A and B are shown apart, each in its own frame.
Chain A
Amino acid sequence: MKQSEFLNVVMPFKDKLYRLAKRLLVSTEEAEDATQEILLKLWSKNDRMKQYASVEAFAMTMTKNFCLDRLKSKQANNLKLVHSNYTDSNASLQRQVEAQDSVNWVEKIMESLPEQQKMALQLRDVEQYSFEEIGKMLEMTPAAVRVALSRARKTVRQKLMEKHNYGIA
């Protein structure tokens, strides 16, 4: 496979790889590094790429495994970069600030979820994959994906409600 062909295959989903990596690793820099690593790995395997039923699903699985390894490794524990680069929108309206704040809450809440639920939520509610696709990517059955997703959504709702009520009280 030539470089241009490879790019045509990979470009449509590279952002999805990056977003999944960022969801798991939280830090922008680490997610960028991970994405680059995955793309280079894919490129080095490019002669075998036609054998895979779905390159996208395969790449997603690679990203998942890579990031989970990263999280497990001591290296990641030693230099955990905490994501703090929230966008400073200079919003003058109080309401706008508040809205932005609670949107960021969702991100924080998602950070606190277990990895599997995090990924299920990311792949479904952000990337809109089907349960079958997510199952393939996460190496789970579609039914298990459904359960994880339901739990994740309910947790997010519950924590969001708590935050809201806390803000009022």
Chain B
Amino acid sequence: MELHNIEKLLEKYFEATTTVAEEEAIKAYFLKGDVAPHLQEYTTMFTYFSNAKEETYTKQVPLKPRKRNYKWLSVAAVAVLVLGIYFGNDYREQKEAEYVLQETEKAFSLIAQNLNKGTEKLVYLNKFEEATNKIYKTN
């Protein structure tokens, strides 16, 4: 590119009125190596800018920790809670019923024992009958 043109562009460049394309042209001129002596100082500037663009981000991006759906987690928690209370109640009721059954059985067996005692004594009633029969016969 013409030297005159470059000088003009440089002037515009420092006023920041150049377009991106014009800046590209300036950069190309300075990177080509064949720079006019009095413009030599600018070379470092444009070399640096193009070097700076080479730097890249090389680290791996750990995208795995994607936000979990906590909405569904809470739904699940509530479900577990409700089921727990429901079945827990059932279980407790069953235990209670078993206890009542046991108690009643105990009570019944007590009654049965006493009843047997009663019937044992009834043997004497038979003896009484025998005795009366004897009396009647002899009469």
Report the separation of the CA atoms of residues A19 and B53 in the bound assembly, to the nearest whole angstrom.
8
Are B57 and A18 in touch, CB under 8 angstroms? yes
Total A-B pairs in contact (CB under 8 Å)?
Answer: 85
Cβ–Cβ contact A15 & B56, under 8 A: yes
* Interface size, A (range): 35 or more
Inter-subunit contact A157/B45 (CB<8 Å)? yes
Closest to A22 in B: B55
Q: Is the CB of B55 within 8 A of A19?
A: yes
Known: A18-B56, A22-B55. A149 touches B61 (CB 8 A): no
Interface residues of A, dominant DSSP: helix
| Residues of chain B with a CB closer than 8 A to A153's CB | 13-14, 16
In the docked arrangement, what's the CA distance between A157 and B49, Å? 13
CA distance A147 to B62 in the complex (A): 39
Q: Is B67 an interface residue (CB 8 A)?
A: yes
> C-beta contact mask, A115-154 vs B, less than 8 Å → 1, else 0?
0000000101111101000000000000000110110011
Partner of B49, one of A15, A32, A104, A126: A126
B residues adjacent to A (C-beta < 8 A): 13-17, 20, 23-24, 41-42, 44-45, 47-49, 51-53, 55-57, 59, 61-63, 65-67
